Amino acid sequence: METTIKQQQQKPHIVIFPSPAMGHLIPLSEFAKRLVLTHNFSVTFIIPNFGFPIKSQKSFLDSSMPKTIQVLYLPPPPPLADVPSDADPSFFVITAMTRAVPALRDSLKLLTESTRLVALIVDVVGTDSFEVAREFNLLRYIFVPLCAMSLSLLLHLPKLDEGAQAHGYSDYKDIPDPIKIPGCIPIRGTQFVDMLQNRNTHTYKLFIYHTKRYNLADGIIVNSFLELESGAFNAFADDGEDGSGKKPPIYPIGPLLQTRPISGNDDDVECLRWLDEQPRGSVLFASFGSSGTLSQEQLTELALGLEMSEQRFIWVVRSPAKDGASGVHYNAQSINKDDDPFDFLPKGFMERTRRGGLGLLVRSWAPQIQILSHGSTGGFLSHCGWNSILESLVNGVPLIAWPLFGEQEMHTEMLTKQFKIAFRPNKNEEDGLVGREEIAKLVRDLILGEGGKPLRQKARELKEAAATATSAHGSSARSLVQVIQIWKNHETVML
């Protein structure tokens, strides 16, 4: 009895069990900080071991987490000898998360001895941990670091799978008509995230398995906001009418943005100092995130297009991929990390742009949050990862959408046709590249042209909507309070 009384007097404790993707860890870490610093919770991250180094993720968590947030790293899982030889890395990661569940159970048992543990938050492919959460009488939540449209697609995927099977389609890209997703604009199968396009892959089957288990959750938390994706969020409330079955409560609590301070190194300081000297709204920021790169041919066209636009720019330059693709995912085989990205730029480009004060080039990484929030930034050429989109929206910056992989094709469709705050470049039919003339035209239009005027206006409107959603009585703030109250009122069970 004494232990129970002592436990009830403690702060409610939340455990987060994430996948290793940086695009997932960043909003989860911000969510954890908000719980601890604003709502008087305690939080532990339990990180699965995938049998390979996750140095960047560990470095991020160690440097960005307050000391009040505990980070535990699980031991390696049993060898994954039964993983199919043709499985992609996503299949390996999802399987490793499932194999980590016994180690997760051991960690939860230890935490129950010293904390008032009330809820387990998992990633979109972490539902195999729900049985363990039930053993400890923990509430089970899924955190979706994606847009509501992505969640709608995942919830509807089993129904879409049945339809594709009935019509004999093994691959969604073979379906000729746009595919309807509840509450969202229709998209083509070619715009599905790569791992969900082919119904016969091992990874696709794992996603079907996990999405069918979403109804086991006590709630789903989404890093988006009601005013941005009202159609999708309203469709979630129609239990079963879309054919996807009854859904748990869904809570939009975004936008959650990274609050990591500027590093203070010379390159970061130079970026902001250079921006301070530019006219308001005059600079295009060009960056493809932490894992996007271009071919040598496309890199050259982008450089010359930026120069031809005669608009100011900051460009985060990354060494080109070796495989010749116009846009690929960053991986160890495609890029030599010892290369200097500037060595791949067109001859004389650096000297011409520096001499004219036109642009600032940065190697591999720049303080994106600070750049997008700076008054001199007037546009963002982006790969359209969801975190980057939210950072752009919050700061009222219109975009040139340049998707490379993953769900970025779907995001681009939203940005151009639903939100209407982005241009999309047209590719040449002959070589599949975006030509320098096209780039120059879109940059000029986005920054100061009449064609970009509606985009700039819409960006300002969405900036206000995002600020309203996260204000004290806004939709996202109210949604978060609902979850907080459920967690604080939950009675835990000591084993």
User: Cβ neighbours of residue 208 under 8 Å, at least 6 residues apart?
Assistant: 157, 158, 161
Over residues 99-133, the pLDDT tens digits come to 999 999 999 999 999 999 999 999 999 999 999 99
Over residues 185-229, the pLDDT tens digits come to 999 999 999 889 999 999 999 999 999 999 999 999 999 999 999
Please tell me which residue in 24, 156, 383, 411 is annotated as part of the active site. Answer: 24
User: Cβ neighbours of residue 343 under 8 Å, at least 6 residues apart?
Assistant: none
Query: What is the pLDDT confidence band of residue 13, given thresholds at 50, 70 and 90?
Result: very high
Rounded-to-10 torsion of CA 353, 359, 362, 368: -170
- Taking 60 as the threshold, does the pLDDT of residue 152 lie above it? yes
Query: What is the pLDDT confidence band of residue 263, given thresholds at 50, 70 and 90?
Result: low
Mean pLDDT over residues 452-471, rounded?
97
Please tell me which residue in 13, 86, 123, 267 is annotated as part of the active site. Answer: 123
Position with higher pLDDT, 270 vs 306: 306
Assess whether 276 carries a catalytic annotation.
no
A 10 A CB-CB count for 461 gives: 13
List the single range of 70-84, 150-164, 176-190, 360-374 with lowest mean pLDDT: 70-84
Question: CA 302 to CA 320: how far, in whole Å?
Answer: 12
Decide: helix, strand or coil at residue 116: strand
What integer pLDDT is reported at residue 258 of this predicted model?
Answer: 86
Tokens of 333: 């085989």
Among the listed residues 360, 198, 202, the one whose alpha carbon sits nearest the alpha carbon of residue 285: 360
Query: What is the pLDDT confidence band of residue 327, given thresholds at 50, 70 and 90?
Result: very low
Tokens of 182: 């509840």
What integer pLDDT is reported at residue 337 of this predicted model?
Answer: 59
β-strand partners of 171? 198
Question: CA 457 to CA 397: how far, in whole Å?
Answer: 10
DSSP-derived secondary structure for 451-478: GGHHHHHHHHHHHHHHHHHHSTTSHHHH
Mean pLDDT over residues 363-391, rounded?
95
Query: What is the pLDDT confidence band of residue 348, given thresholds at 50, 70 and 90?
Result: very high
Query: What is the pLDDT confidence band of residue 332, given thresholds at 50, 70 and 90?
Result: very low
Question: CA 91 to CA 103: how far, in whole Å?
Answer: 20
Query: What is the pLDDT confidence band of residue 241, given thresholds at 50, 70 and 90?
Result: low
What integer pLDDT is reported at residue 260 of this predicted model?
Answer: 66
- Taking 70 as the threshold, does the pLDDT of residue 374 lie above it? yes
For β-strands 283-287 and 377-382, DSSP reports them as: parallel
What is the average pLDDT value for the chain, to the nearest integer? 89
If residue 380 lies in a helix (H) or strand (E), which one and from where to where?
strand 377-382
List the single range of 131-135, 235-239, 254-258, 446-450 with lowest mean pLDDT: 235-239
- Taking 70 as the threshold, does the pLDDT of residue 433 lie above it? yes
What integer pLDDT is reported at residue 77 of this predicted model?
Answer: 74
Mean pLDDT over residues 402-414, rounded?
94
Cβ atoms of 259 and 287 within 8 Å: the answer is no
If residue 165 lies in a helix (H) or strand (E), which one and from where to where?
helix 148-166
Looking at residue 15, its amino acid is V
| Radius of gyration, alpha carbons of the chain | 23
Question: CA 175 to CA 192: how far, in whole Å?
Answer: 12
φ, ψ at 27 (rounded to 5°): -65, -30
- Taking 60 as the threshold, does the pLDDT of residue 262 lie above it? no
Query: What is the pLDDT confidence band of residue 23, given thresholds at 50, 70 and 90?
Result: confident
From the centroid of its chain, how far is CA 316? 19
Question: Which residue bears the tokens 């604009």?
Answer: 185
Among the listed residues 295, 380, 382, the one whose alpha carbon sits nearest the alpha carbon of residue 334: 295
A 10 A CB-CB count for 479 gives: 22
Question: CA 306 to CA 301: how far, in whole Å?
Answer: 9
Assess whether 39 carries a catalytic annotation.
no
- Taking 50 as the threshold, does the pLDDT of residue 328 lie above it? no
Alpha helices (runs of H) in 338-415, residue ranges in sequence order: 349-355, 368-372, 386-394, 408-413
Mean pLDDT over residues 478-482, rounded?
97
Over residues 282-293, the pLDDT tens digits come to 999 999 987 789
Query: What is the pLDDT confidence band of residue 406, given thresholds at 50, 70 and 90?
Result: confident
Residues above pLDDT 90, as percent of the chain? 75
β-strand partners of 45? 16, 71
Question: CA 298 to CA 325: how far, in whole Å?
Answer: 9
- Taking 70 as the threshold, does the pLDDT of residue 494 lie above it? no
Among the listed residues 393, 386, 343, the one whose alpha carbon sits nearest the alpha carbon of residue 364: 343
Crossing angle, helix 453-470 and helix 386-394, to 10 degrees? Answer: 90
DSSP-derived secondary structure for 12-41: EEEEEE--S-HHHHHHHHHHHHHHHHHH--
Distances (CA, A) of 106 to 168, 173, 382, 432: 45, 43, 42, 52
- Taking 50 as the threshold, does the pLDDT of residue 54 lie above it? yes
Domains and CATH numbers, the chain: 2-257+471-489 (3.40.50.2000), 266-468 (3.40.50.2000)
Among the listed residues 399, 413, 390, the one whose alpha carbon sits nearest the alpha carbon of residue 463: 390
List the single range of 2-11, 133-142, 242-251 with lowest mean pLDDT: 2-11
Of the ranges 242-251, 333-342, 375-384, the best mean pLDDT one: 375-384
What integer pLDDT is reported at residue 240 of this predicted model?
Answer: 57
